[in-house]
């Protein structure tokens, strides 16, 4: 009985020691990403097909996945995405992974939601170069799509609202939980090594977490690129100013999520940093007024690698065949 009493006295102390050994998620500026909850599997499956559907473009060649490649971190790893007739876009493609956690969509935040964003590239002459009428004509001409829209939405009159809602439902599943850093946050002390922990501490104490915080480690605010000194670039993008018309918003861009950042070089809206090391050094100087030394840069980069989570396991969809009535694409040379 005495031993049981002793154990009973020691148990609260053991709990306190265990709690102190693990990080408190609530006290950290970054939180783990939650796994996707799929509430409408049929809509998600339809959205996946539309995400990979090149016939939504005028050329029949470009799909959402062309610029947001799910095999390469949700982006295309180009300095500027390639659109219709090999046109280069004015800005590099942001990652679609964890995009549901963003405060808004596009670098300048001009779309408030994933559904609103999904309609833009289809009709953009520099991207998919189609229009909503033609895109709907294509889908309505394919019996298998009409049947699938009927199954998901309860009617056979395919609309752009339904198209974008389905694409958004699929994109909401593209989250990347269970990174090594998430495991550390949840109490696994072995998930990070000494250098990675130093990098995280430097990331915090230097002030990086002022912008890169929350589950997505960013994506939840707009910040000026070049707070301490101007960012030198030939890229014409003006950030939020292009949406608000306010000079104060010039060069203010959505802070990119750092989840899976190691998978998607180059960096910044203009691809001005070819490597993570260059990106960390530039951010230190321009945003924090700090010249990181080589060890600090190496440590922060090591930490950033721990933010790579489990990539979505995508079974490539088999798209339904066109019919005799399907509008033919206009290929480009």
For residue 285, is it within any domain? yes
Q: Output the pTM of the full model.
A: 0.90
Does one domain contain both 198 and 298? yes
pLDDT for position 236? 92
Q: What is the CATH number of the domain that holds 120?
A: 1.10.760.10
Q: Which residue, of 171, 192, 209, is where some domain finishes?
A: 171
Does one domain contain both 72 and 160? yes
Feature table: binding site:
64, 67-68, 208, 211-212, 283
- Collapsing DSSP states into helix, strand and coil, what is residue 303? helix
pLDDT for position 331? 86
For residue 330, is it within any domain? no
Does one domain contain both 188 and 119? no
Does one domain contain both 231 and 286? yes
For residue 321, is it within any domain? no
- Among candidate residues 148, 88, 124, the one with its CA nearest the CA of residue 319: 148
pLDDT for position 21? 44
Q: Which two tokens stand for residue 130?
A: 């189609």
pLDDT for position 89? 85
pLDDT tens-digit profile, the chain (333 residues): 444 343 343 334 333 333 334 456 778 999 999 999 999 999 999 999 999 999 999 999 999 999 999 999 999 999 999 999 999 988 999 999 999 999 999 999 999 999 999 999 999 999 999 999 999 999 999 999 999 999 999 999 999 999 999 999 999 999 999 999 999 999 999 999 999 999 999 999 999 999 999 999 999 999 999 999 999 999 999 999 999 999 999 999 999 999 999 999 999 999 999 999 999 999 999 999 999 999 999 999 999 999 999 999 999 999 999 999 999 999 887
User: Cβ contacts of residue 202 below 8 Å, gap of 6+?
Assistant: 292, 296, 299, 300, 303
For residue 109, is it within any domain? yes
Catalytic residue check, 28: no
Q: Which of 28, 45, 53, 127 is catalytic?
A: 127
Helices and strands counted in the chain (H then E):
12, 2
| Domain encompassing residue 107 | 41-171
For residue 314, is it within any domain? no
Give the number of domains in the chain. Answer: 2
Does one domain contain both 105 and 191? no
For residue 141, is it within any domain? yes
Does one domain contain both 201 and 226? yes
For residue 310, is it within any domain? no
Does one domain contain both 196 and 123? no
For residue 323, is it within any domain? no
Residue pair 234/100 in contact (Cβ under 8 Å)? The answer is no
pLDDT for position 23? 54
Does one domain contain both 11 and 81? no
pLDDT for position 4? 37
Does one domain contain both 204 and 162? no
Three-state SS sequence of 71-97: CCCCCCCCCCCECHHHCECCCCCCCCC
The Cα–Cα gap between 126 and 277 comes to: 32
Does one domain contain both 143 and 199? no
Find the helix packing angle between 114-123 and 132-140, rounded to 10°: 100
Does one domain contain both 23 and 47? no
Does one domain contain both 235 and 282? yes
Q: Which residue, of 144, 171, 198, is where some domain finishes?
A: 171
Q: Which residue, of 171, 198, 220, is where some domain finishes?
A: 171
Feature table: binding site for heme c:
64, 67-68, 208, 211-212, 283
């Amino acid at each position: 009985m005495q031993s049981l009493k002793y154990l009973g006295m020691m148990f609260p102390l053991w709990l306190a020691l265990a709690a102190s050994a693990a990080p408190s998620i609530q006290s950290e500026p970054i939180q783990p990403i939650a796994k996707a909850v799929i509430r409408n599997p049929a809509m998600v499956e339809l959205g996946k097909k539309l995400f990979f559907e090149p016939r939504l473009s005028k050329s029949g060649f470009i799909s959402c996945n062309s610029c947001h490649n799910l095999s390469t971190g949700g982006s295309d790893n180009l300095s500027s995405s390639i659109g219709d007739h090999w046109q280069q876009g004015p800005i590099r493609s942001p990652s679609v992974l964890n995009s549901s956690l963003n405060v808004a969509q596009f670098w300048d935040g001009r779309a408030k939601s994933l559904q609103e964003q999904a309609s833009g590239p289809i009709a953009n002459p520099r991207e998919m170069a189609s229009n909503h009428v033609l895109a709907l004509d294509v889908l309505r001409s394919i019996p298998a799509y009409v049947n699938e829209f009927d199954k998901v939405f309860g009617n056979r009159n395919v609309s752009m609202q339904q198209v974008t809602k389905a694409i958004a439902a699929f994109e909401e599943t593209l989250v990347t939980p269970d990174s090594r850093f998430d495991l550390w946050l949840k109490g696994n002390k072995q998930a990070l090594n000494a250098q990675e922990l130093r990098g995280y501490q430097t990331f915090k104490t230097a002030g990086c977490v002022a912008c890169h915080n929350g589950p997505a480690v960013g994506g939840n605010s707009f910040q000026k690129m070049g707070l301490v000194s101007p960012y030198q670039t030939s890229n014409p993008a003006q950030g939020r100013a292009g949406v608000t018309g306010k000079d104060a918003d010039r060069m203010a861009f959505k802070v990119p999520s750092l989840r899976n950042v190691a998978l998607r070089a180059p960096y910044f809206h203009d691809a001005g940093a070819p490597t993570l090391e260059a990106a960390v050094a530039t951010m230190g100087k321009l945003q924090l007024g700090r010249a990181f030394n080589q060890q600090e840069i190496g440590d922060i980069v090591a930490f950033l690698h721990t933010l790579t989570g489990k990539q979505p396991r995508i079974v490539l969809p088999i798209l339904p065949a066109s019919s005799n009535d399907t509008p033919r694409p206009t290929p480009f040379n």
